[in-house]
Amino acid sequence: MSWKSLYKRAQIENKELDIYWDELINRGIATEEELRLVTNINGYNERSLDAVLYAKTGYRSLEQIDEEY
């Protein structure tokens, strides 16, 4: 895989993480400060955001929350 395709893939993944981050804040699940703390410790990745979601709500995904309501 070329560096260009790896770079493009990383950009797409970061955009998806940005959307997930915004959803956690907009839904009132976490504050920006909480997300910054966790991602500074564990890295800016889906696993870290999933951990915040689970710790704050007990749900494993935003889709699971949507199914409940």
User: Which phi-psi region, left, alpha or beta, contains residue 43 (left: φ > 0; alpha: ψ -120 to 50)?
Assistant: left
CA-to-CA distance for 28 and 3, rounded, in angstroms?
37
For the stretch 21-66, pLDDT in tens is 999 999 999 999 999 999 999 999 999 999 999 999 999 999 999 9
- How far apart CA 14 and CA 46 sit, in angstroms, is 9
Higher pLDDT, 23 or 1: 23
37 close to 59: Cβ distance less than 8 angstroms? no
Q: Phi and psi dihedrals of 63, rounded to 5?
A: -60, -40
Domain extents for the chain? 3-68
Given this model, what pLDDT does residue 26 score? 98
**pTM of structure:** 0.86
